[in-house]
Amino acid sequence: MKIAKQSPAPGGQTYKIREPFSATVVSVERISAADSTEDIRHIIMDITGSNLHYVEGQSVGVIPPGSMPEGKPHKLRLYSIAS
């Protein structure tokens, strides 16, 4: 999974779509109820070596690996940082 940083913290390093940082997904847990129409997940990513410093309320841009069915790369998706 590739990460493009949004809302950089003071002194933080910025990654771009063309120059992303590759992170590893450590775990994914669905936190919405099983019968809910919402699909809310708690995702933990290993960003060791990235020098990224986030605070609650900021956003992180994620570019999933692989490509869409028509062969184009996936687009950037924004996710909010929560506690």
**Where do the domains of the chain lie, and which CATH numbers do they carry?**
2-80 (2.40.30.10)
Name the token pair of 61.
């841009």
In whole angstroms, what separates CA 79 from the centre of its chain? 6
Question: What's the whole-model pTM score?
Answer: 0.67
How many CB atoms sit inside 10 A of residue 6's CB? 17
| pLDDT the model gives residue 59 | 85
| pLDDT exceeds cutoff 90 at 10 | no
Pick from 39, 49, 63, 53: nearest CA to 9:
53
Q: Are 82 and 21 within 8 A, CB to CB?
A: no
pLDDT in tens, 17-67: 888 899 999 999 999 999 999 999 999 999 998 888 888 888 888 898 899
Q: Which residues contact 31 (CB under 8 A, 6 or more apart)?
A: 40, 41, 42
CA-based nearest residue to 23, from 43, 42, 8, 3: 3
pLDDT at 13 over 80: no
pLDDT band, very low/low/confident/very high, at 68 (cuts 50, 70, 90): very high
Collapsing DSSP to helix, strand or coil, 15 comes out as coil
- pLDDT attached to residue 60: 86
